Homo-oligomer: A and B are copies of this chain.
């Protein structure tokens, strides 16, 4: 049976998110919000415990009503995935079944390679308390297991949806490269050291009348602080800056 969400494989819009027997409406709404944050809008819901539509889902969707309004409602997980060609099952732990396992980033990389717009791809999420049954996991090609803290791996349902939706979104982009400051023998200044310097400098700038008129002072202070912060001063350099300000202002006391 084809889905009732108005999409067909090939139409695009990223993978289908399938919530299997979700218990709390607020998690359905929060999942819809997380999906739309990441540009996904194809939601299918299998046998929600508290019925459908759901007022608590609408309240927690925070404006993602479009996702809820066109969500497909299904009696069984089989029907919800019938028209898909790739199905991934998110689960907290490995099952006793011979099935490939990938982490979320690896799984999304594979989805993008096999089905670049995700049109015929679905991701299953189980109920809050129990997760997917073995029979439901068996419907999938691949198990997706996030390498979370082994001592605390139970993720909120909407958080799990965000994780996959976010990985999907990022998989379509190039990330910026990292940028590192070489500090040599010294170390980056602490925030406290920088704030002390800013206080010193701004006290002197107030005193010489530079930070006027008063209504412009906040923006001027921000611009000056940003200028110094962009330089990412070291502890050594902050001491130098203190010395510069002290040096530049020494004559003023003498002239008074």
Contacts and interface: CB of A to CB of B under 8 A. Distances in A.
Interface of A: 1, 30, 33-34, 36-39, 62-64, 78, 81-87, 97-100, 102-103, 105-106, 109-110, 112-114, 120, 134-135, 138-141, 146-149, 152-156, 158-159, 162-163, 166, 169-170, 173, 175-181, 187-192, 195, 218, 222-223, 225-227, 229-230, 232
Contacts of A187: 85
A218 B38 CA distance: 38
A148 B64 CA distance: 14
16 contacts: A37-B149, A37-B155, A38-B148, A83-B190, A83-B192, A85-B189, A85-B191, A98-B223, A103-B170, A106-B175, A106-B176, A110-B178, A138-B222, A139-B191, A147-B169, A162-B162
A85 to B, nearest CB: 4
A114 B149 contact: no
A86 B188 contact: yes
A81 B146 CA distance: 30
Contacts of A141: 229, 232
A134 B223 CA distance: 10
B188 A222 contact: no
A135 B218 contact: yes
Contact of A162 (B83, B163, B181, B226): B163
Chain A to chain B: the 9 pairs with minimum beta-carbon distance, closest first: A106-B176, A109-B178, A110-B178, A82-B192, A85-B188, A105-B175, A39-B149, A81-B191, A36-B152
B98 A175 contact: no
Residue among A62, A148, A152, A189 with max Cβ neighbours from chain B (10 Å): A152
A181 B188 CA distance: 49
